[in-house]
Structure 1
């Protein structure tokens, strides 16, 4: 089984402009930080006023399985599943996978 760092290094990250296009964010509204990160301009966000809001699903406080599947794995799977069935979904993770920094799982590590 590959380690976390081996999996991360094998990932092919998409350019942020490609992600923006998928979310209907024009390239000129992205303020890039390298190839894979960007902020969205305030002008673009203000232009979204009046549109109907989306839905928020909060994944929190679940105990990981013995294999280490917890909030991060569940959230990524949920986002992938919603996109697979045609929904326009994106995910946001706050402090994902802290444990591998110390060689063990869990933020309390």
Structure 2
């Protein structure tokens, strides 16, 4: 069985504009400072405006070794975010850094 490479998967991805992602969780365009089309900082005013709201949930995903197919923390995190959204939860994911396996020749 052959698997697509990381770059093949990345090139097939259809990224959404950051404004669309922000709108999904209630952040208006006025509260986003875009860095290109798919990244943005959130204004301090917006952060201050939600300080009194009930906190959400934080799920940390960790692992030691990926599966032979390369499924590790990133794949699990994306799948978890997609699954929570699918069942009606308002979920967002944040990935701290990209997979280091390809950078070190381990994948």
- State the TM-score, normalizing by the size of structure 1: 0.89
How far is the alpha carbon of 1:81 from its aligned partner? 0.4
Q: Distance in 2 between matches of 1:43 and 1:24?
A: 14
Superposition misfits of 4+ residues, deviation over 4 angstroms: none
Q: Distance in 1 between matches of 2:51 and 2:83?
A: 28
- Structure 1 unpaired stretches of 5+: none
Q: Distance in 2 between matches of 1:73 and 1:5?
A: 14
Residue pairs, 1:77-88, within 5 angstroms: 77-88=79-90
Q: Distance in 2 between matches of 1:100 and 1:89?
A: 28
Equivalent pairs counted in the alignment come to 105
Report Cα offsets for 1:58-105 as digits up to 9, x if no partner.
111343112221111111111110000000001111123111224423
Q: 1:101 aligns with which of 100, 103, 107?
A: 103
Q: 1:7 aligns with which of 3, 9, 13?
A: 9
- Structure 2 unpaired stretches of 5+: none
Q: Distance in 1 between matches of 2:100 and 2:65?
A: 15
The alignment's C-alpha RMSD in Å is: 1.3
Q: Distance in 2 between matches of 1:62 and 1:22?
A: 33
How far is the alpha carbon of 1:20 from its aligned partner? 0.6
Residue pairs, 1:39-78, within 5 angstroms: 39-78=41-80
- State the TM-score, normalizing by the size of structure 2: 0.90
Give the match's secondary structure for 1:35. coil
